[in-house]
């Protein structure tokens, strides 16, 4: 049985990835979710090859507990759990700004901690076109691209934005920049025969829970009009289409093609990637600072 872990598999994109993965013969899917009851109910619907495990990505203690409890080889890890938080700054129990904690620090810690089980396995990070200040669609929604300062400053919640909404959008875009830079940089450090690291830019998938903290009119727009007009927007997709691309990257795509690459929902190298995120010095800073911030080490 090939085992795949999908974080944030209780809703939206992660749930769809889990559903599509489990349909494959010889595949076991772990729904790594913060609400275990909900995860167990979803796993039951998916059948005997799906299993839920508790994982709260806002808690380093819980992430470390998950890593310590893990036994056995992992074929693929999907770092999908994520949020967008345009309200007042929220800190996790560890004292870290919530968006950076859940979207980046959790994905980073989980990946590093589970690497010894991922021999010959694939790690998929979920990026987003919002990280690139030159992308038109995110700009229309108020995104101004990633604002990478340092991991320590971001974790403290420091920001040059003048209002909560802009701070939230900047933090989200920055977290997706960090996810992308991490995937690209880890691929520089390991051969694809050891671990395959890649990034999926899933496009805009209107209707997921990502807008749950937005004001009511934005939530309504997200779950209705934007869904309807998606076919007219170049970089819009659906959870079904983007999950199919994720499953392909986890199971069928040639490792040498996708290792260190950012692909889009059409299964092609993404054209929405900011050149800055590919800079070797940026990748080095993101990975070294994250390792030092988390007191972690990459296995040799
Ligand atoms: N929708 C888009 O247009 C879009 C575009 C680009 C990238 N993405 C990325 O796609 C991923 C999934 O987002 P989505 O659109 O599917 O949103 P979603 O429907 O809100 O799903 C987010 C998932 O993350 C989980 N999650 C949030 N905080 C968590 C925590 N502390 N611990 C564990 N799980 C947590 C949620 O769990 P609960 O069910 O418990 O809340 C949920 O399962 C994110 O990484 C997002 O950045 C989305």
- Smallest CA-to-CA distance from 79 within 21, 129, 14, 132 is with 14
Given ligand 1 and candidates 20, 38, 81, 86, which is best to mutate, with the most ligand atoms within 8 Å of its CB?
81
> Six-digit token pair at 274?
């900011």
> Six-digit token pair at 107?
């994905």
Ligand 1 atom 43, closest CA: 8
Produce one character per residue of 165-204: b if its CB has 16 or more CB atoms within 10 Å, e if not: ebbbbbbbbbbbbbbbbbbbbbbeebebeebbbbbbbbbb
In whole angstroms, what is the distance from residue 52 CA to residue 50 CA? 7
Given this model, what pLDDT does residue 219 score? 94
Given this model, what pLDDT does residue 300 score? 81
Angle at 124 between CA 104 and CA 112, to 5 degrees: 55
- Smallest CA-to-CA distance from 247 within 23, 10, 9 is with 23
- Ligand 1 contacts CB of residue 129 (under 6 A): no
> Residue 191 belongs to what H/E stretch?
none
Q: In what order do the strands lie in the sheet with 2-7?
A: 50-54, 27-33, 2-7, 76-79, 121-126, 195-201, 262-264
Q: What is the pTM of this model?
A: 0.98
> Six-digit token pair at 54?
């508790």
Ligand 1 atom 7, closest CA: 128
- Smallest CA-to-CA distance from 214 within 116, 84, 111 is with 84
In whole angstroms, what is the distance from residue 294 CA to residue 281 CA? 20
Given this model, what pLDDT does residue 101 score? 98
Q: How far is the CA of 300 from the centre of ligand 1 (A)?
A: 31
How far is residue 72 from each of residues 1, 61, 155, 299, measured CA to CA in Å?
A: 11, 21, 32, 17
pLDDT in tens, the chain (300 residues): 999 999 999 999 999 999 999 999 999 999 999 999 999 999 999 999 999 999 999 999 999 999 999 999 999 999 999 999 999 999 999 999 999 999 999 999 999 999 999 999 999 999 999 999 999 999 999 999 999 999 999 999 999 999 999 999 999 999 999 999 999 999 999 999 999 999 999 999 999 999 999 999 999 999 999 999 999 998 999 999 999 999 999 999 999 999 999 999 999 999 999 999 999 999 999 999 999 999 999 988
């Amino acid at each position: 049985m090939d085992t795949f872990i999908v974080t944030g598999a209780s809703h939206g994109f992660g749930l769809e990835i889990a559903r599509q993965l489990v349909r494959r013969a010889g595949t076991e899917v772990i729904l790594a979710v913060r609400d275990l009851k909900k995860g167990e109910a979803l796993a039951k619907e998916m059948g005997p090859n799906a299993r839920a495990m508790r994982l709260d990505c806002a808690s380093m203690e819980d992430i470390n507990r998950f890593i310590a409890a893990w036994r056995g080889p992992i074929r693929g890890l999907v770092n999908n759990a994520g949020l967008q938080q345009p309200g007042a700054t929220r800190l996790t129990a560890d004292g870290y700004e919530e968006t950076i904690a859940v979207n980046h620090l959790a994905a980073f810690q989980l990946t590093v901690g589970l690497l010894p089980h991922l021999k010959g396995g694939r790690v998929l990070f979920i990026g987003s076109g919002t990280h690139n200040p030159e992308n038109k669609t995110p700009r229309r929604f108020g995104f101004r691209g990633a604002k990478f300062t340092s991991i320590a400053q971001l974790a403290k919640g420091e920001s040059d934005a003048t209002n909560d909404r802009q701070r939230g959008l900047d933090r989200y875009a920055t977290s997706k920049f960090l996810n992308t830079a991490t995937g690209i940089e880890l691929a520089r450090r390991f051969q694809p025969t050891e671990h395959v690291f890649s990034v999926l830019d899933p496009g805009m998938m209107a209707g997921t829970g990502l807008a749950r903290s937005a004001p009511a009119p934005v939530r309504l727009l997200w779950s209705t009009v934007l869904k309807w007009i998606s076919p007219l927007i170049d970089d819009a997709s659906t959870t079904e289409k983007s999950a199919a691309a994720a499953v392909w990257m986890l199971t069928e795509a040639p490792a040498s093609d996708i290792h260190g690459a950012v692909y889009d929902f059409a299964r092609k190298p993404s054209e929405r990637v900011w050149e800055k995120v590919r800079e070797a010095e940026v990748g080095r800073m993101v990975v070294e600072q994250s390792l030092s911030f988390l007191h972690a080490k990459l296995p040799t």
